[in-house]
Structure 1
Amino acid sequence: MSEASSDIQTSAGSSNVGAGSSASTALSPLVTEQGRTTIADTVVAKIAGIAAREVPGVHALGGGAARAVGAIRERIPGGRTNQGQGVAVEVGERQAAVDLQLVAEYGVSIADLAQGIRRNVIASIEGMTSLQVTEVNIEVQDVYLESDGQDQDQSQQSEPRVQ
């Protein structure tokens, strides 16, 4: 927050305010002669998380621990899904960079999945915030097998294999 304050003070105290502000206006719709719009990291992370989940083949976002905490949070009455789970962002005045951790569904081409995620995340962030997305890094941490969830439930209900 102090950086933003010093930026405002520097540009307000500058003798070339007219020249500097016209260049800023041309570079970003978020910085205009009428004022500056700042977008919080959490907003960009939430947009990226929602956009990534919309792509078919994404089972979940986040690492194992984050997904476990998220599952507990959802079970608490009144608890909400953390849309920014598994998403890290860096947001500047004009640009944003995104890092995603996810679990892919088995059988999906990971290269095609990553391309689809990048396309959707970039379009969503740029369309909603006017920030230029410089990169979207994707880390596939696991592959989800539909039978994994069913096998655990069945094995708990079946008789033990040994006595």
Structure 2
Amino acid sequence: MAETATTRSEQAETRQQARVPQGRTGTDVPATERGRTSIADSVVEKIVGMSAREVPGIHSLGSGASRALGAVRERVPGGQRNIARGVKVEVGERQAAVDLNVVVEYGIPIMDVARDVRSNVISAVERMAGLDVVEVNIAVDDVHLPEEEEEEAPEGRVE
């Protein structure tokens, strides 16, 4: 059995021919074979941020420091709300992994909120981005307490 040796240029040509649909042009080629779509991490972060905020019981996203910075940034003229605050994603060609930092409302079972967030995030990312979500890790950083009514300040000793 004789083996034929191929040069690098022949190998490259063979690979190129394998990528080009042979004998199939125009409407015969499915749209899925006519290019590539890539989705930026920031796009998936926004999808995750919006879908997490939709869940009842979520007060806000982000750790204490990022929430404080975000509050300052929003008050600055021209400042914008950061939808992706508290969200970190890793996006591959077909899959995504999500890490979330959340603040939940007091009195709502945290495990129920986490389950609902996880379900909503997975559904939104898979529906909108077409990516398989392999994991959604949720870190509950704080509990938002109900606003306490300000008590009247006692009168000072000096008038």
TM-score using structure 2 length: 0.77
Which residue number in structure 1 is paired with residue 132 of structure 2?
132
Identity %: 53
* Matched letter for residue 84 of structure 2: G
Larger Rg: 2
Offset from partner CA, 1:21-74 (integer Å, 9 cap, x none): xxxxxxxxxx93111111000000011001000000000100000000110111
> Which AA in structure 1 matches 2:66?
A
Structure 1 Cα separation of the partners of residues 98 and 153 of structure 2 = 44
Specify the SS of the correspondent of 1:37.
coil
- For 1:89, the equivalent position in structure 2 comes to 89
For structure 2, which runs of at least 5 residues remain unmatched after alignment? 1-11, 22-30
- What is the RMSD computed on CA atoms of the aligned residues? 2.6
State TM-score, norm by structure 1.
0.75
Per the TM alignment, residue 15 of structure 1 is displaced from its structure 2 partner at its CA by 5.2
- Give the counterpart letter for 1:132 in structure 2: D
Give the structure 1 partner of residue 104 of structure 2.
Answer: 104
Gaps of 5+ in 1: 1-9, 20-30
Q: Give the equivalent residue in structure 1 for 2:19.
A: 17
* Structure in which a larger fraction of residues adopt helix: 1
Q: Is 1:158 equivalent to 2:145 in the alignment? A: no
For 1:119-141, what per-residue CA distance to the aligned partner results, in whole angstroms no more than 9, with x for missing partners? 11111111111011111000001
Match of 1:74 in 2: 74
Structure 1 segments, 4+ long, off by >3 Å, are: 12-16, 159-163
Cα deviations by residue, 1:95-128 (Å, 9 ceiling, x for unpaired): 0000000111111111110110011111111111
* Structure 1 match to 2:113: 113
Q: 2:19 corresponds to which letter in structure 1?
A: V
**Is 1:65 the equivalent of 2:65?**
yes
Q: Which SS does the other structure have where 2:107 is aligned?
A: coil
1-structure distance, mates of 2:157, 2:83: 43
Residues 44, 160 of structure 1: alpha-carbon distance in 2 compared, 3 angstrom cutoff: farther
| Structure 1 SS opposite 2:56 | coil
